[in-house]
Structure formats: C-alpha cells, structure tokens
Homo-oligomer: A and B are copies of this chain.
Amino acid sequence: MSEINIRALAKALNLSIGTVSKALKDSYEISAETKERVIALAKALNYNPNPYASSLRRKKSNTIAVVIPEVADSFFSAAIKGIEDVAQLKGYHVLLYLTFEQYEKEKKILQECRNGRVDGILMSVTSETIDTVHISELLTDTDNPIPLVFFDRAMDGINVQRVTTNDFESSFAATQHLIDAGCRNIVYLSVSKNLHINNKRIAGFKQALLQNHLKTEEHNVADCSNDGAYNHQLINKILTSNNRPDGIIAGVEKLIAPVYVVCQQAGIHIPSQIKFISFSNLPYAPILNPSLTTVTQPAFEMGQQAATLLFKAIEKKGSSAMDEHIILPATLVIRNSTGMEGRLD
C-alpha cells in the first residue's frame, strides 16, 4: 500500500479524516467546493483507499469466490469469462479456487470462506462430493449466512439457487438422435454417480431408450473416473468387447479424446461403425476427425446469470428467494460423428 492514505490527504488539505472520507463518497454533508478540493488532490496524489480497512469497517469485501473443480475444461473456462464479465461491471473482485475434483479441498476452501473474505460464492461441486453439510453450514450460519449459487454441477437436497441446463431433456434428445441414426446398443459414459447433472443425464438417456423399446442393461452405463489412464482402459475394454456398442454418449468433455484415440487404435470407424456424441463446449468439435456432434451448454451465459443471481442475493441480503432455479437450454449440434455417411477415408 502506498504511503498516502486518507490521513495524509486530510493533513494536506487541513481537513479531518472523516470529512475527506465523506467527500470521496460524495456525501451530502460536504460542500461542493470541499469535495472538489479533496477529489483533485486525491487524483493528483494517486490516492487509492485501502480495501481491507474498508472491508473491515463495512463488513463487506466486494469479493466473490468461484469454486470449481477444474479450469482446463471449455465449459468452465467459458463460464469464468461470463462471471468475470459481470463481476467487473459490478466492481467485484473474483477469487478463484480450484478443487482439482477433490472433496477435501472443496471442504477446506468453503471453510476458509466463512470469515468475511467473500460476500458470496459461485460453485460447481466436485465429482467426489456426496454430502452437503459443508455447504449447508455456510447457509444456515445463524449470524452470517453467506449467499451461494450453484452453476452447472449443483447438489440435490439443499435449498440453494442454481443455474443449470436442461440435462434430462438434452440427454434425451441426444439419445433419440443416436437411435434415429440407427443405434441400438448405446453406452453412456458417466462422469460420477455423485453428480446430480450426471444422474439427470443418465435418466434422460434411459428414458429415451425406454420410449424406443430398447432395454437398459447393466453395461449401458459405464462409470468413468478422474483417472485418465483408467478411463482409457475402460473405454478400450468397452469398444473392443464382443458386445461392442454402436453408439456412445460421453457425459463430459475429457472423455472425448480417449474415445477418438481408442477408435483410431482399434480401427473402429466413426460414424459408420460407431456413432459418438459428447456433452461439450469444445470449440474444436467442428474440426475433429470426424467433426463431433455435441450437446453444447450456453456456458458464458450461465456464468453471467449465476453471477447476476449471486449479486442480487448479496444485495438483498436475506429477502432473496432461495429456490430460484434458472434452467438454460443446451443445444444439440449435429455434426459428422453421428452422420450417416459411410467410410470415406
């Protein structure tokens, strides 16, 4: 912090500290003339008020926390852009916390948020997160309930505002699209049984199978993990089994590469031998080989809306309806990985 503080300003102007403070905040108590003098000198000396002194006194930090499992994912990186966008507009600062998909880290991070460091929290839970006590503790703090908004990866059984996509419907549509393309043995690559969005997507998947009179069997849902090597093996096992599927839906972006790689290695052609859809915001989907049909979420907008919701909750302190639930539609972008074309290469 620079040596010039409000005290130095006051001394130079021969005013009291309080007067300077009020002048800078354009208080009605201060004459126009004095305000001008104060502001002029403040600008000349490049005065920058200490944010922590202010936070301490006002019990307001103008800072929010963004708690996410990962940043190298096109959904999250786009969502962060949306969040930053409205945060900058609102004059808020953004603390970024990565949980690296670890529940313990998430717990610790949230715990550290309970001391006034942030005015609110935006989060997408870890794939390991099962219980919600660490979250509900924040909300039910008798003295200081801290506003929290889920985006994308929300938790059930807890009364929290959230911004998500229509996971059931979009998964249903993706599945239907595969069925329409001729698939009869579709495998859904699941992220984590703990994730609500994952389960909604599985539900949509199963419902589509049901409505098309296709049986859902054990092997139709495969649980992937956070271990890339394990996932690769699992996918390899599925795609080289006797009962090889003719359609794949990946519930998360990081499963795209292993599917493509395994297909390439095993000589399985997409889409003639197997069709593939992934939930993903990857801007490179159009230039993959073949281009990838995706369920694409409006990530940027989701970030914006979640942040907007949070700021509303912060400002209205308590009066906010906790059950607000914004659902934005994802779009099925059809490309060649589910196309009907034969083997061209």
Contacts of A141 in B (CB 8 A): 2
The smallest beta-carbon distance between A18 and chain B, in angstroms, is 18
Residue pair B288, A284 in contact (C-beta under 8 Å): yes
Which residue of chain B has the shortest Cβ distance to A65 in the bound complex? Answer: B93
Q: With A96-B94, A144-B2, A287-B260 known to touch, is A52 a contact of B56 (CB < 8 Å)?
A: yes
The smallest beta-carbon distance between A333 and chain B, in angstroms, is 15
Q: Which of B61, B71, B88 meets A80, CB within 8 Å? A: B71
Q: Which A residues form the contact surface with B (CB < 8 A)?
A: 1-3, 46, 48-53, 55-56, 59, 61, 63, 66, 71-74, 77-78, 80-81, 84, 88, 93-98, 105, 111-112, 114-117, 141-144, 256-257, 260-261, 264, 282-284, 286-290, 344-345
Contacts of A345 in B (CB 8 A): 344-345
Complex CA gap A51/B118 in Å reads 10
Q: With A59-B1, A261-B287, A288-B289 known to touch, is A48 a contact of B112 (CB < 8 Å)?
A: yes
The smallest beta-carbon distance between A96 and chain B, in angstroms, is 4
Q: Which of B71, B81, B256 meets A284, CB within 8 Å? A: B256
Q: How many identical chains are in the complex?
A: 2
Q: Which of B48, B78, B111, B282 meets A115, CB within 8 Å? A: B48
Q: Which of B93, B289, B290 meets A95, CB within 8 Å? A: B93
Q: With A56-B50, A81-B71 known to touch, is A290 a contact of B289 (CB < 8 Å)?
A: yes
Q: With A144-B1, A289-B288, A289-B289 known to touch, is A116 a contact of B72 (CB < 8 Å)?
A: no
The smallest beta-carbon distance between A259 and chain B, in angstroms, is 9
Residue pair A77, B71 in contact (C-beta under 8 Å): yes
The smallest beta-carbon distance between A24 and chain B, in angstroms, is 13
The smallest beta-carbon distance between A58 and chain B, in angstroms, is 10
Complex CA gap A288/B283 in Å reads 12
| Further 15 A-B residue pairs, CB within 8 A, beyond A50-B56, A94-B95, A257-B283 | A1-B114, A1-B116, A3-B143, A52-B52, A52-B117, A53-B56, A56-B56, A71-B84, A73-B77, A77-B77, A88-B105, A93-B95, A94-B97, A264-B287, A282-B284
Complex CA gap A74/B53 in Å reads 37
Question: 5 smallest A-B Cβ distances: which pairs?
Answer: A289-B289, A345-B345, A1-B116, A48-B115, A260-B287
Complex CA gap A289/B269 in Å reads 14
